[in-house]
């Protein structure tokens, strides 16, 4: 069976369920990474409701649901800058039931195909998310270009004091697009 992922706008009344699915997927990644830790759900949803809302209200935000056979299997929140062609992935997830089936990779290439004018894709992921790092580097062709930490906190945390030593330990990834690499 051929897997064909499409992107569709998210109806306003479904944004909350998309946010909940996203938070469940991110929490699963956290739980998988810190199996022996105390209950990671005590720290609240990831991303926080505020972070999600802030992302939605960015003037360049584009929110899409990832569809397979008429069913939502994930979603993405992007920042599309038509002037520079430098676009950002704020949030990207697939339902945990879709993991390990090649659906995420097909979904990423559907996103690339939907925004063919992109010159560079950028995203961030926590240092501990080995599954994400593998996915973006080995499956989607991204490169790790920067490591944010206490000594190099990155552009969005200047002046903020992290609550834990590794709270701001993130990788920044980039994928420079060539026209021939955009084909699905």
> What are the domain boundaries of the chain?
5-182
State the pLDDT at residue 136.
96
pLDDT in tens, the chain (184 residues): 678 899 999 999 999 999 999 888 877 756 565 555 555 555 566 667 888 889 999 999 999 999 998 899 999 999 999 999 999 999 999 998 877 788 999 999 999 999 999 999 999 998 888 889 999 999 999 999 998 877 777 666 444 554 544 556 889 999 999 765 444 4
pLDDT score for 97:
82
> For position 45, what pLDDT does the model report?
64
Task: Report phi then psi at 130, rounded to 5.
Answer: -60, -35
Handedness of CA 124, 113, 139, 46 (dihedral sign): positive
- The whole-number pLDDT of residue 183 equals 47
Phi and psi dihedrals of 167, rounded to 5? -60, -35
Check the CA dihedral 154-47-86-95 and report its sign: positive
Predicted confidence at residue 158, as pLDDT, reads: 44
Helices (H), the chain: 15-33, 49-56, 103-114, 130-134
The packing angle between helices 15-33 and 49-56, to 10°, is 130
Residue 170: the pLDDT is 86
Out of 3.40.50.620, 3.40.630.30, 3.50.50.60, 3.20.20.220, select the CATH number for domain 5-182. Answer: 3.40.630.30
Phi/psi of residue 35, nearest 5 degrees? -60, -40
Q: What is the pLDDT of residue 43?
A: 59
Q: What's the N-to-C CA distance of the chain in angstroms?
A: 17
Q: What is the pLDDT of residue 156?
A: 61
3-state secondary structure of 30: helix
């Amino acid at each position: 069976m051929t897997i064909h992922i499409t992107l569709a706008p998210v109806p306003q009344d479904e944004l909350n369920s998309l946010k909940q699915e996203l938070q469940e997927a991110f929490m699963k990644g956290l739980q998988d990474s810190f199996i022996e830790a105390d209950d990671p759900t005590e720290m609240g949803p990831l991303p926080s409701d505020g972070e999600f809302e802030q992302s939605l209200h960015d003037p360049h935000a584009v929110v899409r649901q990832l569809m397979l056979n008429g069913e939502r299997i994930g979603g993405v929140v992007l920042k599309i800058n038509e002037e520079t062609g430098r676009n950002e992935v704020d949030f990207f997830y697939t339902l945990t039931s879709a993991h390990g089936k090649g659906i995420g990779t097909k979904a990423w290439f559907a996103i690339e195909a939907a925004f063919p004018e992109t010159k560079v894709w950028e995203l961030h992921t926590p240092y501990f998310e080995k599954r994400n790092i593998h996915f973006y580097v080995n499956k989607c062709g991204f490169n790790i270009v920067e490591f944010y930490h206490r000594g190099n906190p990155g552009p969005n945390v200047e002046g903020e004091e992290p609550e834990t030593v590794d709270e701001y330990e993130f990788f920044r990834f980039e994928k420079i697009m060539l026209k021939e690499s955009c084909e699905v």
